[in-house]
Amino acid sequence: MSGAAPAIPHPARSSALVWGLGGLALAALVLSPVVALMLAAGQGAGTEGAGALWPHLVAHVLPQALRDTGLLLAGVGALVIVIGAGAAWLVAAYEFPGRRFLEAGLLLPMAVPTYIVAFAYLDLMHPIGPVQTTLRDLLGVARPRDLVLPELRSLPGCILLLGFVLYPYVYLPTRALFLMQAANLIEAARMLGRSPSATFFRIALPMARPAIVAGASLALMEALNDIGAAEFLGVRTLTVQVYATWVNRSDLAGAAQIALVMLVIVVALVALERWARADRGFAGTAQRPRRMARQRLTGLRAWGALALGWVPVAIGFAIPASYLAHSAIRRLLRSGLPETIFAEIGHTLLYAGAATVIAAALGLVVAAGPGLVSRRWGRALIQVASLGYALPGAILAIGLLGPLALADSALSAGTTHVLGIAPALIGLGTGSALVTAYLVRFLAVSIGTCEAGLGRVPRSLPDAGRMLGHGPGATLRRVQLPLVWPALLSGALLVFVDCVKELPATLLLRPLNVETLATHLYGEAARGTYEDGTVAALLIVAVGLVPVAILLRLGTPRAEHADRPLTPPRP
């Protein structure tokens, strides 16, 4: 009898049962969009009616969409690697005046969604916008057609803008790896007479490859998820075609089939990232690694390095943010606040706030599962619950339509049978659909931050709570929550910001006649009334500065998850 496990108190068994059933429900919620997407695509391919446009899509839509998407991902991938790795090496390997400010400033493009950057530059570079107007005045050119600049509405323009916004996904993990790797390897190369460029390309860059590949994969996921910038700039990517096929052609099955093609690309990116990281590590000593000694630059070289480092910050943040602020102030002075802005702020806060509260609570419970209920099943649930972040918003929105409609039908049938009345829709076509999409997509953010916080709590504390007869719920509430609330709050802020910035899922799942800040901005850009959208754009940028401020305060890169597998989790 000495080897028998102690009996589990009844409250603990009840809590474990509730946790298990809840875990199954959550796993079903996260996996249902992918299953529903496959079913919808399969049904559409074999039927007339809703799926009858599929031959047309295959012949005329998919080839161009695949080509544009492939070229966009290739160009953005190359650009974020060059900018991100180069910026990381610059601030990690060299010392020059203003380096610390540059190190922080390189984070700022994370605050600006890609569609807002495209929105700002389209107005800036318009033929009658400030840039071309100023150039014509300086050159004495009277008519806009007499001064022709490269067209921003193009695939190269889209690659350029997305690359200068998404490079922090590579910069952050690569910089962290440069700072943590053994300094003696770099210094040995210098002592052997290797030039700075040879040291970078032959030693530092190969060591940083796992971080670079992981960061680039995340940047490509964001580029694939983008709908606003691509559509504004005339690039017909798969995401744009999903939206156009569903909304413009009313072909849900065709949209599901295109979304399934996107899902294949997502799986390929995940597989590529994990292949690049597999069995690629470096041996180290038991001692704490010594940081690399930075080479001091002086004179013109120092000022040149500083100027070069600020170029991506200027293009990715300073120029669009400054222009938005100027245009918003001018719009306010001339016409006041837009009439609908307060309603849009309210809708944004309502849906993003509801998803944030639910994601924070579920993230804490899921993250605590391995330590309180079952390590094996708890880790498995974390893996499944974190998969939602790998789904672009357009794929997620299409995939959720079937499960939400099924849930509404089941509820209506049940209440009709029991009460004799059928309730109004509570899922599809309502705000709860949008909240569900936000929850599935960004739950991994909350799980990751809660896992990090719980990892700092000594295991003896929850064990003591269990020995005193407390179940998993009571132990989590009374022992762990008071210790991990800063991590829980940080994760909630990140989820809220991601929800506010999310455009594809919001466009596809928002209730009828409901606008958020993101969809208002999208509508103004589609109508060409850019100045009327600057207030909403500036508010979104202000919210986006929250995670950057957290990073600067904590000194922990938000994209440190890029040094881990794509999924799961993503803190």
| Rounded CA separation 109/130 (Å) | 22
Please determine, for residue 561, whether its predicted confidence score (pLDDT) is greater than 60. Answer: no
Section 543-560 average pLDDT = 66
The reported pLDDT for the residue numbered 3 is 46
CATH architecture of the domain covering 341-510 = Orthogonal Bundle (1.10)
For the stretch 189-240, pLDDT in tens is 666 666 666 677 777 777 778 888 888 888 898 898 888 888 888 898 888 8
What SS3 class is residue 94? strand
CA-wise closest residue to 107 among 545, 564, 563, 569? 545
Structure tokens at 228: 């606003």
The reported pLDDT for the residue numbered 82 is 94
Classify domain 50-280+299-336+515-571 by CATH number: 1.10.3720.10
Lowest mean pLDDT among 58-72, 271-285, 514-528: 271-285
What SS3 class is residue 7? coil
| Rounded CA separation 348/500 (Å) | 6
The reported pLDDT for the residue numbered 7 is 45
The helix (H) or strand (E) run that includes residue 495 is helix 481-501
Please determine, for residue 310, whether its predicted confidence score (pLDDT) is greater than 90. Answer: yes
For the stretch 27-83, pLDDT in tens is 888 888 888 888 877 665 555 544 456 677 777 778 888 999 999 999 999 999 999
Please determine, for residue 351, whether its predicted confidence score (pLDDT) is greater than 60. Answer: yes
**CB contact at 8 A, 312 and 510:** no
CA-wise closest residue to 66 among 268, 245, 266, 258? 258
| Rounded CA separation 508/94 (Å) | 47
pLDDT band at 336 (very low <50, low <70, confident <90, very high): confident
The half-sphere exposure of 567 on its side-chain side, counting CA atoms within 13 A, is 23
Please determine, for residue 378, whether its predicted confidence score (pLDDT) is greater than 80. Answer: no
Please determine, for residue 556, whether its predicted confidence score (pLDDT) is greater than 70. Answer: no
Answer yes or no: same fold for 50-280+299-336+515-571 and 341-510.
yes
**CB contact at 8 A, 420 and 288:** no
The reported pLDDT for the residue numbered 568 is 39
Section 400-405 average pLDDT = 82
| pTM for this entry | 0.80
| Rounded CA separation 378/317 (Å) | 40
Please determine, for residue 424, whether its predicted confidence score (pLDDT) is greater than 60. Answer: no
The reported pLDDT for the residue numbered 283 is 46
With a CB cutoff of 8 Å and minimum separation 6, the contacts of 312 are 83, 87, 106, 109, 164, 167
pLDDT band at 566 (very low <50, low <70, confident <90, very high): very low
The reported pLDDT for the residue numbered 86 is 92
The reported pLDDT for the residue numbered 93 is 83
Q: What percent of the chain has pLDDT over 90?
A: 16
Structure tokens at 439: 């929850």
Section 421-439 average pLDDT = 76
The reported pLDDT for the residue numbered 555 is 55
The reported pLDDT for the residue numbered 6 is 44
Mean pLDDT over the full length of the chain: 78
Please determine, for residue 298, whether its predicted confidence score (pLDDT) is greater than 90. Answer: no
Q: Write down the domain spans for the chain.
A: 50-280+299-336+515-571, 341-510
| Rounded CA separation 534/320 (Å) | 11
**CA dihedral over 183, 185, 188, 192, signed as positive or negative:** negative
The reported pLDDT for the residue numbered 135 is 82
